[in-house]
A and B are shown apart, each in its own frame.
Chain A
Amino acid sequence: MAKKVSISGIFATLALIFSYIERLIPLDIGVPGVKLGLSNIIVIIALYTLGTKYALGINVFRIFIGGLLFSGVFGIAYSLAGGLLSFAVMYGLKKTQLFSIVGVSMAGGVFHNIGQILMAALVISNVKIMLYMPVLIISGMITGILIGILSGNLIKPLKKILVWS
């Protein structure tokens, strides 16, 4: 228990660092909401190693603190919509045990973007922003798959280094 908490602390900090690194990488294709989702690596690893509760805690922590540090209140609203929807979908898919970590992460990437665009439509009170949906679905798939492969390969060595129980 205490070890899981301290590992959660390290993970939460890492997620924040990844959010910061992500801001340094220009991925600018002119569509709002397209990003790598680097800090999702941490959330997925936590989901597969620490369990749902800890992963959700890390996710919410990184959204609020990361939002305050890097993007402001509206940033938090977008990230929260995306982050929670994506987490719910990833948790559900993982529970079916039908999907690999890559499939789970891919769905997570797509639904993160869908959550964000729904929130954006709400914020600007205009559904026309849904026109970005195709780009956001495809980009979410690509980044989600990459993040899934990275996370899947990181879990094994991490399990050797860290003592979990």
Chain B
Amino acid sequence: MLNSFRNGTFIMIKKADIVLAFILMLAGIASSVFLIYGGAAGETVKITVNGAIYGTYDLNKDEIVDVKANSHYNIVEIKDGKAFITDADCPDKLCIRQGAIDNTSQTIVCLPNKVVIEIIGPDNGGPDSYSS
């Protein structure tokens, strides 16, 4: 039960609410655990635009890649074994804010420009192939 207004308006929290909250939290935690422990150090940076591979680059070789597609651009910098976006013409700039990645469980996504930066390991896999 939750009394949130002083004039006595009540919202009765029911048992099913709590059960649902636990299920959702469990789903959230389970998927994060899977992501955190499912990753491995990567060697290659794979850049895809609109689902098609734009190029793959060595993570251990410093390089600046100008991803130009569909009259948009994202500048991807590979430096000290990490990949990150330094500049882009997308409106929200969330891709820049997502920071540097170096693990197969990480990605940078620029939704407006449909650009995805992934790290792939020596076995060419993401979290799914970690067990192999």
Contacts and interface: CB of A to CB of B under 8 A. Distances in A.
Interface in A28-86: 28, 30-32, 74
A9 B50 CA distance: 39
A99 B2 contact: no
Interface string B75-93: 0000000000000000010
A8 to B, nearest CB: 24
A95 interface: no
Contact of A141 (B9, B25, B99, B116): B25
Contacts, number: 105
Residue among B28, B52, B107, B116 with max Cβ neighbours from chain A (10 Å) = B28
A149 B12 CA distance: 10
Interface in B100-123: 105-107, 109, 111-112, 114-116, 118
A98 B18 CA distance: 11
A141 B21 contact: yes
A106 B48 CA distance: 34
A107 B24 contact: yes
A137 interface: yes
A145 B48 CA distance: 36
A120 interface: yes
Interface string B1-35: 01011000101111011001100110111011001
B51 A125 contact: yes
B56 interface: no
A120 B35 contact: no
Interface string B27-47: 111011001000000000000
A100 to B, nearest CB: 5
Contacts of A101: 11
A126 B28 contact: no
B98 interface: yes
B72 interface: no
30 contacts: A32-B111, A93-B20, A96-B16, A99-B14, A100-B11, A103-B13, A103-B16, A106-B20, A106-B21, A110-B24, A120-B111, A124-B50, A124-B115, A125-B50, A126-B48, A126-B51, A126-B109, A128-B107, A128-B118, A131-B35, A133-B28, A133-B31, A134-B28, A137-B27, A137-B31, A141-B21, A148-B11, A149-B2, A149-B4, A152-B9
Given A32-B92, A131-B106, A133-B28, 13 more contacts: A31-B98, A32-B109, A74-B112, A96-B16, A102-B11, A103-B16, A103-B20, A103-B21, A123-B111, A123-B114, A124-B51, A126-B116, A131-B107
